[in-house]
Amino acid sequence: MSKLVVTSIGPASSVQDGGRPGSQRYGLTPSGAMDRLALAAANTLVGNDPFAAAVEIGPFGATFTARGGAVRVGLSGAPRNADIGGRAVAFDSSATLAEGETLNLGFARGGSFSYLAIEHGIEGEPMFGSLAVNARAGLGSPYPRPLQSGDELETRPASGAAERRIDLPVMADAPIRVVFGPQDDEFAEESKRLFLDSEWKISATSDRMGFRLEGPVIRHLHGHNIVSDGTVNGSIQVPGVGQPIVLMPDRGTSGGYPKIATVITADFGRFAQMSAGRPFRFEAVTMAEAQAEARAFRDLVRSLPDRMRGMEDFGLNVEALQDANVAGQAVSAVDAETWQAAVP
């Protein structure tokens, strides 16, 4: 049995998978990965099921060491500097750690969460059908809490398969799309326009339960208390203070604040990757548009195996670069006639 030992890791890092769908009817929060596309991409790189358990790594750095044999991993999500024994490792690719080698990961750039999938998966005892960690509820396996130095993630030895890269679409820097409701009638039209027309930022006090938003105060029409009803990933509650909270995977299963809108499924991972303090806006779409985007997202996840390439396919095409003349007007250092001004 091989294992990946956590030699150092920052907060907000834990084992996550596709969560516990269907369990919310019993009052059990679903948990699961913040960015499902990145989780699926990391798992696909090493031949796992797309929503198998992997390590969700928060904004800070981490190091992992292979023990008991080689360990093959896939990396996706928020990019960061990565190396194994001094050799650089690209994101959206797989790599193999030999016995005793250490994978070093720096701080996240342009996002908050990265995913480290382990070939053959992480050994653990499913709790209500999932290894996903919910620290507040004491759920998850092999550790029902955030990861810490000294933790060991057991798996089977690496297969020796060729390393791969995966071609993911570039995520547009566009507004986060929402559908209004289910309690948008608790807000005046002016409040809904303010919600859409304003610039928002995610507070540094946010966590896997909810992202608190900083921006204008959104006023209620009839007070901030309603009969508690169900929530979903992306529900946007507006408590009495008027500062919205976007509910995340470790949310409560129901809530008693009016929900002005809901982040659509296709944009939820992009929203979850927003760094604290970065400005963004919301954009309203219809239910039909949200459903079409959800189907497109499903199709994207299903297409991930077809998007993989061998590492050699990502080498530089020198002839193409020369033909493109990306530097502008080319000159030759050994041919003065191409750069030296003529003497009149």
Residue 202, SS3 per DSSP: strand
Residue 227 has what pLDDT?
Answer: 83
Question: Which of 4-8, 305-309, 332-336 has the weakest average pLDDT?
Answer: 332-336
Cβ neighbours of residue 136 closer than 8 Å, sequence gap 6 or more = 209, 250
d(CA 20, CA 48): 18
Mean predicted lDDT score pLDDT of the chain: 90
Question: What is the C-alpha separation between 162 and 310, in angstroms, rounded?
Answer: 8
Q: How confident is the model at residue 316 (pLDDT cuts 50, 70, 90)?
A: very low
In degrees rounded to 5, what are phi and psi of residue 316?
-75, 135
Confidence class of residue 328 from pLDDT cuts 50, 70 and 90? very low
Confidence at 313, pLDDT banded by 50, 70, 90:
low
Ranges of H-type helices in the chain: 36-45, 189-197, 265-272, 287-302, 318-324
Q: By C-alpha distance, which of 81, 46, 37 is closest to 63? A: 81
| Six token digits for residue 136 | 């507040």
Residues 70-95, mean pLDDT to the nearest whole number: 95
Domains parsed from the chain with CATH numbers? 2-166 (no CATH), 176-289 (2.40.100.10)
The per-residue pLDDT for range 166-223, each reduced to its tens digit, is 999 887 789 999 999 999 999 999 999 999 999 999 999 999 999 999 999 999 998 8
pLDDT recorded at residue 284: 98
Per-residue pLDDT band for 319 (boundaries 50, 70, 90) equals very low
pLDDT score of 236 more than 80? yes
The answer to whether residue 24 scores a pLDDT higher than 50 is: yes
Report in angstroms the alpha-carbon separations of 255 from 29, 36, 111: 12, 24, 28
In this prediction, residue 329 carries a pLDDT of: 46
Give the integer Cα–Cα distance in Å for 119 and 97: 11
pLDDT at 318 over 90: no
Share in percent of the chain as helix, strand, coil (round to 5): 20, 30, 50
